[in-house]
Every structure is written in C-alpha cells, then in structure tokens.
Structure 1
C-alpha cells in the first residue's frame, strides 16, 4: 500500500476539489495543499473526481471529459509527487482509471456493488470504499472481504455519515473504531458527512461551518485519515460547493488537528 502513515504516526489527508473542473484549479489546489502537508508532516493524497455520476438533476455538472480529467490527475501526481484518488462508478471504469491514479474510490451508494468492488480490486490499486449512508459500520466487513478475496489487501474504509430523515446526515463515531478492528485504515469524510441531500431544488445543501467539529472528533476517536473537499472559491465550484471547505481555511484546521493527534497519542 502507498505510505499512509508517517513514522511519527500522524493522520493522512485525502483532499482536493469535488470534481476536476480545470487544470488550472487542480494545480492551484494541489500546490497549496502539498505545501501545507509538507510543513506539517501529513501524508497527502490528492482527490478529484474525473466524472460525477450521482447528480440530483440531469443538468448538473458531471465533468470536463474523462480522459482530459484523468490526464490532469496524472499531471498533479507528476508535478507534485503525491498519489491521487478518484471515484469509479461502473466495473468497466476500473482499468481505465487505474492507468492514471493510485487509489480507486467506491462511492457510498455503490459500496455493495460486488462486480465494481472486484473490478477495482483486480487492478491492484488501493481501493477506498465509502460506507453507505444506509449501512452500519459493522456491515462494511463484507466490502473488505470482497476486495481481499479478489487478491487485493490494499483497502481503506471511509465513513461519510448516516442518513437521518430525508434531508440530513449524522455521524456515529462508534463506527471508526469498529471498522478499524477489521485491520484496515479508516478515514472520516469531513465534508460529505455535512451534506443536506435531497433538496427540492435539486441542489444539495451543506453545513461547512461544522467541518472543524467533525474533523476534531474523528481525530480524537482514532481515525487514521481525513477526507476533505476544498476549493479556492466554494461558491463558484461546479460540484458540492455547499459543503466544501474554503482552501484558505485548511492550514489553520490542520494545525489544530495535528495538536489533537499528538494529545491523544
């Protein structure tokens, strides 16, 4: 597996824009975050979706073109020397995306899709599976087993909250130690867990003012990593801007989280 924990035992970070919007924005974000994480000794994986498949409205932004976006992810890796992660949605996408990135991410709504998990596993890449909003932490052992039984033991699990009513999510922090007991790294998705989905407008809402709260609690209970979507101008982001962290706020947050990690260790 790619190096996720540094010798000091710090948490790792998966962060970047929700979707690859342009080369300029992707490189801007990557440059900023690699500088911060280098100073703070935080292992970093650049995140960006080459295509968004799960959208509320048919007119919602889905991407700039698969190959174009994947090549931008590859450029981020080559220019900044960091691993990259992107989502896949169907089995046939696994081999294509694996040519460009280091980690294949399975979206939460698709975490039970056996063929998708197996296809991702067979690429030999690290597979990050997001826990379904509709599943208990304990049930994620089956996703882990599907990947490992396919000959790949490079698995990460990511919690992104649980459905609460029709238009909200809550985080059950008991799930972090429960999933860590499976012997895999566990990540807290600090931005998607604050979404307010299924709005009548067709545009997902969010509570980004609580990102720090979610992140602090996750580190306190032992999360191995954090997932944070960030953008230099969330209001103008083409996807999930309502729950993203402003890029200018990231360093201050990470400084606080490193202190918490040191305290709980």
Structure 2
C-alpha cells in the first residue's frame, strides 16, 4: 500500500486518517470508506482508512467492544484491497501485533499505552508502519523515547506521532500546538487527532462526552501550524455510533471541512 511518507505528499498536501471509531459492521465500514475515498480523491488527499477491530479502553463493563477480532480485521483487509487503501487499527497488547499485522498496514498505539515498551517493540517487529498517539499526560518532546523504541527494534520502520490533547483537570482536554513542531523535531510525520482531542472523559454517566462543534477549529489550527496529517473519526449518524459518538464528525460534514483545510494548507506552505 502507498503509505504517506515524511513531511510532504506529491501535491504538498496533508494526509488523512479517518473512519469510524470501531468496526461496527461490514456495510457501515464500506459506506464510510467509499464516501471518504471519493472526497479525498477529489482533493488529492492521501487517505488511510481507520477502524478499531476491538475497543479495549471502555468506561463501563457493558460498553461495546467489537464484533469479533478476526471478523473485524477481515473487513479492514477487504476494504484495503477493494479500494487500494492503506488501513490502520489499534493494538493494546504485545500478542495482538502479529495478528493485526496480517490484515492492516499501520498499527496504532493508543495514547494511554504509548510508554509500553513491549507493545512498541512488538509493533516494530512486524515491519508495519506504527502510529503512536501521544499520551494525554505527556509533552511532545518526551515522545522521542517512543520513537527510539520503535527504531531500536526496526531501524527502517515508518513511524507517525499523533497528538490528541492533554488532560485538563479530570474531565476535559486541551490542545497545545507547540507539540506539533516539537514532535516533528523527532524526524517523523505528526498527525492531529481532531476528534479525540475534544473528548470529555470521566463523565458520571459512564459515557465519554465531547465537543464535535470544535472539530473544525482544532483541524484548521493544526494545518496552520504545519501538521503533516489529520485524524478524524466520522460516522453517518454519530448519535447511534457504538463507540465515541459524542466527539465524532457527521460523515456528511467531512467534505466541507476537508475543502477548507486544503485551502488553509495552500495558504501556509
């Protein structure tokens, strides 16, 4: 698969990681992939389809975790083959790396696991690209150690770093845009997660909240600062999404947002 490389794409555009939070069904995954591919082809935006095959970090015991590991991974593989797209999914434990790598092109390390040496090493050994989300508790400068762990195991590995905000009290996040150039200084592309950075975790209801109306603000600022990529979770109807619906972008609003971001990118490069 053609995975975006360091810093610049062919037309000097940003790249996009996007999809629903979790793989809920084959039909929904294909609907989202087809819609986004059409938009990104129109704007010349390199696209990586995102979907979690399993949700391990859930607030409540009875929260949705997935439709079955292999079932979801096979859907990711099918989407990648059908649309000729690279795909990305999360892994949570070292033994998952080899399994997931058989089906996807990029292994993603969740933010709260970004310091887990064994997990990073296992991802690196698969030979797949690795996207490490910066912990909500970490500064961008400290992420150099996560990059070093990957490159120690696989010096030729392709690594991305993704910012998703920093904890602000117990139930909110803030984005410090200094983290983008600070993480780029580690020699890797940096992605802004425009949806998870707007989460409002630890709600007393047991369901994570969010501020989806601010997605455009976060995304525009990230592109203006020079982010190499944008990460967005999207769904045709976030209100019925089985995971993270409170901070997802409605799928029908994605085209307008990406058109604006392309114009911002053209203005700042």
CA contact (8 A) 1:91 1:115 kept: yes
CA contact (8 A) 1:186 1:225 kept: yes
2:164 is the counterpart of 1:160: yes
CA contact (8 A) 2:77 2:104 kept: yes
Q: Give unmatched runs, 5+ long, in structure 1.
A: none
Equivalent residue for 2:231, pick from 227, 230, 233: 227
- Hey, what's the Cα distance between the residues in 1 that align with 2:118 and 2:57? 18
Correspondence for 1:118: 121
Correspondence for 2:138: 135
Alpha-carbon RMSD across the aligned residues, in angstroms, is: 0.8
Correspondence for 1:175: 179
Q: Give unmatched runs, 5+ long, in structure 2.
A: none
- Hey, what's the Cα distance between the residues in 2 that align with 1:35 and 1:201? 37
Correspondence for 1:258: 262
2:87 is the counterpart of 1:84: yes
Deviations 1:235-263 (A, max 9, x none): 00000000000000000000000000000
Equivalent residue for 1:68, pick from 71, 80, 83: 71
Which secondary structure does the structure 2 equivalent of 1:100 belong to? coil
CA contact (8 A) 1:6 1:41 kept: no
Which secondary structure does the structure 1 equivalent of 2:123 belong to? helix
CA contact (8 A) 2:98 2:123 kept: yes
- Hey, what's the Cα distance between the residues in 2 that align with 1:54 and 1:75? 25
Correspondence for 1:202: 206
Correspondence for 1:145: 148
- Hey, what's the Cα distance between the residues in 1 that align with 2:212 and 2:247? 5
- Hey, what's the Cα distance between the residues in 2 that align with 1:154 and 1:30? 23
Q: How does 1:226-245 map to 2 (within 5 A)?
A: 226-245=230-249
- Hey, what's the Cα distance between the residues in 2 that align with 1:95 and 1:45? 20
How far 1:151 sits from its partner (Å)?
1.5
2:49 is the counterpart of 1:46: yes
User: Could you state the TM-score of these two structures normalised by the residue count of structure 2?
Assistant: 0.97
- Hey, what's the Cα distance between the residues in 1 that align with 2:197 and 2:237? 20
How far 1:3 sits from its partner (Å)?
2.9
2:62 is the counterpart of 1:56: no
Correspondence for 2:3: 2
Deviations 1:52-85 (A, max 9, x none): 0000000000000000000000111011110000
- Hey, what's the Cα distance between the residues in 1 that align with 2:34 and 2:241? 18
- Hey, what's the Cα distance between the residues in 2 that align with 1:189 and 1:244? 11
Deviations 1:111-155 (A, max 9, x none): 000000000000000000000000011110000000001124310
| Mean CA deviation greater in 101-110 or 149-158 | 149-158
Correspondence for 2:15: 12
- Hey, what's the Cα distance between the residues in 1 that align with 2:186 and 2:142? 11
Which secondary structure does the structure 2 equivalent of 1:14 belong to? strand
User: Could you state the TM-score of these two structures normalised by the residue count of structure 1?
Assistant: 0.99
- Hey, what's the Cα distance between the residues in 2 that align with 1:251 and 1:184? 27
